[in-house]
Structure 1
Amino acid sequence: MNALREHAEQQYAEELSKLAKVDTKTRPPRWQLSPWAVATYLLGGKLDDGFVVSPKYIGNRRVIEIAIATLATDRALLLLGVPGTAKTWVAEHLAAAIAGDSTLLVQGTAGTSEESVRYGWNYARLLAEGPSRKALVASPLMRAMQEGKIARVEELTRIPADVQDSLITILSEKTLPIPELGEEVQAVKGFNVIATANNRDRGVNELSSALKRRFNTVVLPLPDSIEEEVSIVQQRVESLGRALELPAEPPALEEIRRIVTVFRELRSGATADGKTKVKSPTGTLSTAEAISVVNNGLSLAAHFGDGTMRAADVASGLIGAVVKDPIQDRVVWQEYLETVVKERDGWKDLYRACKNHD
C-alpha cells in the first residue's frame, strides 16, 4: 500500500517503537507509552541510545503536558483554538502515542447524526433477524469504549446540540445504553475522548454547560515568536514534500520567513518593528495556511520552474490566503502591498510578483 497520507502511528512507527523499548516509566492502563514518553513523542527529544525523536508540536511544553495529564484521568480533553493551530494534528498524535490507533474518529458537521456518536443498525440484518448485537453497527466512540482506546471528535461545536448531548452519559458514566437490546456498553480502562473546537467562529452550536463540565479545555495558541512559526512551517513543508515526492529544492529559510512575516503582520495589525499599523483581513492567516502557501509555491517551482522556489511561485498562494473577501480583503492587501512590501529592503521581487499577479 502506497498511501498518500499515512496515519500517525504508521508514519512514525519507528519512533513509537523506539520509545516503547526505552520507556520504563509507569503507564496508565492500556496506554502504549507512559505520559513522559507520549510527551517526548509530541515534543521531540534525544533518547539515551542517541535516537532522535522528531518534534510533532513546536510550542509551549506545558500545554502538551496538561493535555496528556488530562487523558490519564477520567476527564475528556477539549483542544480549543483558532483554525490552523494544530488541534487536529495534536489530537491525532496523542491518540497514536497513547492507544496506537488514531483512526477512531467522528467528524463533526451540521449533519452529524446521533448514530455517528452512539451506534447504528445494519437494516437488512435488523429486518431479517430483529434487534441483536450482530445487527448493531458500532460508532468509533463505541469501539473505543470496548477496546479501551482514544476516540476523537473533530469540530465538536459544529455538531447539533441534541447530538452533542448524547456524549454526556458516555463521558460522565462511561457507559453507552442500548435500550433496544436492554443492554449497555461499559467503557474499558484506557478509554477517553479528545475533541477539537474552533474558537474563531464559535462553530454552529455552543456546548451546553453540562457537556463543558465533562471536558478539560486546553487552548492551543498561535506561535509566540516568528522563529517558532518559521520552524513549524519549515518542518511541515519538508515532511509534506517528502510525502508528495516534489522534485524541488527545499525552500530557503528566508523565503519561508517572508511569508510568515506577512501572515504575522496582517494578523497582528502592525509591522514587526511596531512602527506601522496595518489593517487585518477577514481570514485567520494561520500557520497551516502558511504551510499551504509554501507547498503550493514548491509545486509550481518543481513542475513549471527550475525547482527553486521564488517570489513568483508564492505570489498566487499568498494572495489567495489573504484575500478571502474579494472586496474588503483586496483593499487590505493592496494597502499592505504598497505601504509595507514595496518599501521593505530585499522585498522588491515579492512586490513585483504580487503586482504582476493582480
Structure 2
Amino acid sequence: MTDTAGPTDTPTDPGAGTDAAGVLRPPAEQAFADELAALERLDDRPRPPKWRLSPWAVTTYLLGGTLSDGTVVTPKYVGARRLVEVAVASLATDRALLLLGVPGTAKTWVGEHLAAAVSGSSRLVVQGTAGTAEESIRYGWNYARLLADGPSRDALVPSPVMRAMQAGRLVRVEELTRIPADVQDALITILSEKTLPVPELDTEVQAVQGFNVIATANNRDKGVNDLSSALKRRFTTVVLPLPATLSEEADIVRRRVASLGAALRLPADLEHLAEVERVVTVFRELRSGVTADQRTSLKSPSATLSTAEAISVMTNGLALAAHFGDGRVGADDVAAGLVSAVVKDPVQDRIVWQEYLETVVKDRREWSDLYRACRDLDPA
C-alpha cells in the first residue's frame, strides 16, 4: 500500500509494495486499506506531524463506526473507548506507549493497528525473546564490509528502531519483558533524548517528528525481566483487560472466527456459531474460579484461557465442521480443542478439567452433548 502521510517506503521497509493476494495474513495496512483510505479522505481534524490520520480518526479506526460517506469501519478492538484514547494521546506526545495485559488481550493486535493507522506501516517490529541482542534495538554491522573497510555508514545495519527514528514512524517492540534487562536499557536514551549514539562513527541518529515506540508486555511474565524504574518512567502504561462480560467476549470471538473462516475459505455456515457462547462460558468460569451463577467454586487450570485461545478453539472447530462434518459447528467439533486448551499440565490440569466436567457440565441439561463429546475423548 502507498504511504500517503509519511515517508515513502524504501527497500529498508520489509514487505513494501508486496501484493497481499494469497498472503495468509496480510499486515493491517493492507488488510484494511479501504477503511484507512476512507478515513484519510474524510479526516479534516488536526494531525500530529507525520501522522497519516488524526487522533480522532485513529480511534475511530480502532473502535469502528460509520463515516459521513456511509463507509463502515469495522471495530478492531472491543473495549473501553477511554483506554484507546489514552493510548493514542500518548503516541501524539513524546511518551512511548506500553500495552500491558494477560496473554490474549489483543496487545499485539492493537499495537499493529495503531502503527498502521498512525504511520501507514506496521512492519517495523522488534520481537522480544530471551535471545534478543542489543543490535535489535540499536544497530549492527555488516561484518564483511566492516573487516574490509572499517566502521562506515555502508557497513552499519540499522535496527527497526533506528529506521523508525530516521523515517518518523512508530516502531513496535513485542514482549518487552522477555528481552534481557541490559538490552532493554538500550531504549532509555532513545526514549528520553530521542537520539541514538553511534560512537564508532562519532555521530548519532536523531529522531524526526512522528517517531515513537509501542511496546507490549505480558503481566504474567512479571519477574522474568522486570523493567527498570528508569525505563518504566518513559512509558505511558495502558492495561488491556479481559472482556468484562460474557456477551462482549462472545461477540469478539464470533467476529474473529467469522473473519478467519472467510480468510481460510472454510466452507462452513458462519451464521450458526452457537458453540461460541459455551466455549467462552467454560473459559470464563475456569478463569475466574467460580460458575457464572456464583454458586460453585472451581479450581483454575494453569492455562491462561484467554479470548485468543477461545478463538483458536472455535476456528479449529470450524475447520472440523467444514471438512469432516455438515458445516455446522457442534459439540463434537469443539470438544477436542476445548480439552487441549484447558489441559496443559497432563496431571494437575486434567484433575481440574475432570472435576469441572462432572460438577458443572454434567448437571447442565442443555450441555449434555458437550459433556458426552468431552467424555468420549477421555472416558477414564
TM-score normalized with structure 1 length:
0.99
Which residue, 143, 146, 154 being the options, matches 2:166? 146
Aligned residue runs from structure 1 range 1-358, under 5 A: 1=19, 2-202=22-222, 204-250=224-270, 252-358=272-378
How far is 1:252 from its partner? 2.5
How far is 1:152 from its partner? 0.3
**Matched position secondary structure for 1:200:** helix
- Residues 45-71 of structure 1: CA deviation (Å, up to 9, x unaligned): 000111100000001111101000000
Amino-acid identity (%): 72
- Residues 88-136 of structure 1: CA deviation (Å, up to 9, x unaligned): 0000000000000000000000000000110001111111222111111
- Residues 216-273 of structure 1: CA deviation (Å, up to 9, x unaligned): 1000000000111011001111111111111211163421000000000101111111
**Matched position secondary structure for 1:275:** coil
Distance 1:295 1:329 in 2: 23
Q: Is the Cα–Cα contact under 8 Å of residues 176 and 217 in structure 2 kept in the other structure?
A: yes
**Matched position secondary structure for 1:353:** helix
Q: Is the Cα–Cα contact under 8 Å of residues 294 and 314 in structure 1 kept in the other structure?
A: yes
How far is 1:324 from its partner? 0.7
Moved more, 169-178 or 197-206: 197-206
- Residues 19-61 of structure 1: CA deviation (Å, up to 9, x unaligned): 0000000000000000000000000000011110000000111
Distance 1:194 1:201 in 2: 18
Aligned-pair Cα RMSD in Å: 0.9
Amino acid at match of 1:227: S
Amino acid at match of 1:79: L
Distance 1:33 1:199 in 2: 31
Q: Is the Cα–Cα contact under 8 Å of residues 251 and 298 in structure 1 kept in the other structure?
A: no
Distance 1:63 1:344 in 2: 37
Q: Is the Cα–Cα contact under 8 Å of residues 94 and 212 in structure 2 kept in the other structure?
A: yes
Unaligned runs of 5+ in 1: none
Q: Is the Cα–Cα contact under 8 Å of residues 137 and 187 in structure 2 kept in the other structure?
A: yes
How far is 1:318 from its partner? 0.2
Q: Is the Cα–Cα contact under 8 Å of residues 98 and 237 in structure 2 kept in the other structure?
A: yes
How far is 1:203 from its partner? 5.9
Unaligned runs of 5+ in 2: 1-18
Q: Is the Cα–Cα contact under 8 Å of residues 273 and 328 in structure 2 kept in the other structure?
A: no
Distance 1:220 1:356 in 2: 37
Tell me the equivalent position of 2:13. none
Amino acid at match of 1:107: Q
Aligned length: 358
**Matched position secondary structure for 1:134:** coil
Amino acid at match of 2:91: L
Amino acid at match of 2:356: Y
Q: Is the Cα–Cα contact under 8 Å of residues 145 and 191 in structure 1 kept in the other structure?
A: yes
Moved more, 148-157 or 196-205: 196-205
